[in-house]
Chain A
Amino acid sequence: MGFYAVQSLNALSFSMLLLLTGLGLSVVLNLMNFVNLTHGSFFLLGAYIGIYWLASGAPWWLAFPIAFAAAGLAGLLLERFPFRQFYARTHLMQVLLTYGLSVIFADLMRWGFGAQIISPEIPELLRGVVFILDMPFPVYRLFIIGFGAFLALALWLVIDRTIWGAVVRACVVDRGFVETLGLDTRRIFTAVLVVSAGLGGIAGALGAGILSAYPGLDEEVLILALIVVVVGGLGTFRGTVLSSLLLGFVMTFAKVWIPEFSNVVALILMAALLVALPEGLVAQKVRQV
């Protein structure tokens, strides 16, 4: 019993990372109709920055805001050039541009941070284990679950319940109309991209504690996040939450029960879901023509 409780918590902490990364990706995709394949790079950048910050001896809790800020800054610069020129282009061109950029960033980070696997020094406060039904469980993973849930909830509140969120959502429906109200939609899009990149960075800083950081992690995370977003269904917050939970639990328990075939099983399940529900788990109601 305790074993399954602990595994479920493991799955939940992994789902949280998927959720945070997926949300960053889906916010940009849904609100700006922009496919941003550099999102994995933001994650890895956040992971490296978190690790170096924790090793530097500065107050540990600042690592997460710093990772958010660094990735957000990268997002801000990229948004100015060249993302902005590609908002009106086809998804194909966006995919090509951002994939190319992610190749560049991957190599730059390999250059700057080295090619070896590095893990963070987890701060004293989060280091130990707690016993859940007599089974040990790392405190750090509980922290990921709590902090991740807090961030996801905050994002949902901002988008769904505040006037800023309403403005952003209005941009999705009719950008021209928002412009006529005297709002600069370009700045709104900039803000959305910065928040998305920052979320990627903070997810990386959190995730480094269990995934470590190494060249290639950016692509692995990007693919998982893309699967989460697409399987969940475009344009839905609930769908992304649902699919990140699903993928997190399937991957974790597949590793427990059938370690050799865990990835195949998870991939087949996701492919089957996409085939059965091409619109995603939670389909947005779209009028066809």
Chain B
Amino acid sequence: MLLARIAILLVVAALPLALAGDYQLRFLAEILIIGTAVLSLDLLVGFGGLISLGHAVFFGSAAYAAAITSQKLGADIFVMLAVGIVTGMISAIVLGVVVMRTIALFFLILSLIVGQIFWEIVFNWRELTGGADGLRGLPPLELHTGFATIPLTSGVTLYIAAAALAALAYLVARSFVEAPIGRALLGTRERSLRMSALGYSIPRIRLMVLAASGGIAGAAGALYPFVNLYIGPNAIHWTMSATMIIMLVIGGVGSLYGAFIGSAIYLGIQTYVSSYTDRWQLVVGFVFVLTVMIMPKGIVAGIKAVLRRRSGARSVR
């Protein structure tokens, strides 16, 4: 059963390689990378009940760190990932230490403020980050095997790298959620008072999930600049965080896989609807609001529920 599932997944993942052109593969790589960042947000929102409006910081600061490192040392994919993960984790721990004592609305606002402080720094530190212009002309991403260097610049290679990243991130997130720490995290969300009475340190659990989430977001951020060979300050702005939340909600909070569906729907609308009309944000807004109102568990769960109701009605008859 499990093997069959993995086989199906591999076939589905391989399909675009046969069918899609270079442009579409790049687009899919972007969906998978952003989806990975949204997946890490799901750890916070879906399992920890921590709505962060500063999530773009983990993603964006890792992207900048990778881009800046690549200008000096070249863009070895493993070096990039290491730099990204470390940067993502550090910024997550910085945010965590600051916001540790707050929850709910306060957490939301404080993460927003901390996020904007990071953005102001990136925006104003022109020598290092290029300010409003961002960084262009990055070296191509490379995979150094023992005997050869493979450049990861074509759509195909970028897609494979992004798919591998997404699959790994999914497995890490899944195992985090299913490990005792993940269970404890759910406990802090549902009954924080009882958890602390049982001797759990809630700040410590939250800090650990922030670090894990930051690490995954950082890994995604590390590859992001190399899809378009550009990174700009928008990647770290709070609207990016809000966009990630929109994607997460459309795809389904607390489902992990929904992150990728949400990012595909959002970026799909952004890319394809905007070629017909300037009002793509209106479309995104409506999709988002309708999801919140009708299918608060996300589109996949919503459609599943509708199908189940229909088949349930049939079996009763």
Contacts and interface: CB of A to CB of B under 8 A. Distances in A.
Interface of A: 35, 82, 85, 91-93, 95-97, 99-101, 103-104, 106-108, 111, 219, 223, 226-227, 230, 234, 260-261, 263-264, 267-268, 270-271, 274-275, 278, 289
Interface residues of B, number: 40
B98 A96 contact: no
Contacts of B193: 289
Contact of A267 (B113, B239, B242, B284): B113
Interface stretch (B68-76, B117-125, B309-317): B117-125
B112 A223 contact: yes
B301 interface: no
Given A100-B292, A223-B116, A264-B124, 13 more contacts: A82-B289, A92-B49, A92-B51, A100-B285, A103-B284, A103-B285, A111-B278, A227-B113, A264-B117, A267-B113, A271-B110, A275-B98, A278-B101
Contacts of B284: 103
A93 B109 contact: no
Contact of B109 (A111, A226, A261): A226
Nearest to A92: B51
Please classify the interface of chain B as helix (H, G, I), strand (E, B), loop, or mixed, using the class held by over half of its residues: helix
* Chain A to chain B: the 4 pairs with minimum beta-carbon distance, closest first: A104-B285, A103-B285, A100-B289, A100-B288
Nearest to A111: B279
A35 B105 contact: yes
5 contacts: A35-B105, A93-B292, A107-B281, A226-B112, A264-B121
B6 interface: no
Please classify the interface of chain A as helix (H, G, I), strand (E, B), loop, or mixed, using the class held by over half of its residues: helix
A106 B109 CA distance: 21
B16 to A, nearest CB: 30
A95 B288 CA distance: 12
Given A93-B296, A97-B292, A271 B249 contact: no
A274 B293 contact: no
Contacts of B45: 92
Contacts of A261: 120, 124
B104 interface: yes
Contacts of A106: 281
Contacts of B285: 100-101, 103-104, 107
A76 B285 CA distance: 20
Nearest to B121: A264
B282 interface: yes
Contacts of A274: 102, 106, 109-110, 113
Contact of B242 (A99, A101, A271): A99
A85 B289 CA distance: 13
A271 B282 contact: no
A263 B116 CA distance: 9
A288 to B, nearest CB: 9
A267 B293 CA distance: 33
Interface in B55-103: 98-99, 101-102
A227 B115 CA distance: 13
A66 to B, nearest CB: 26
Contacts of B49: 92
A85 B117 CA distance: 35
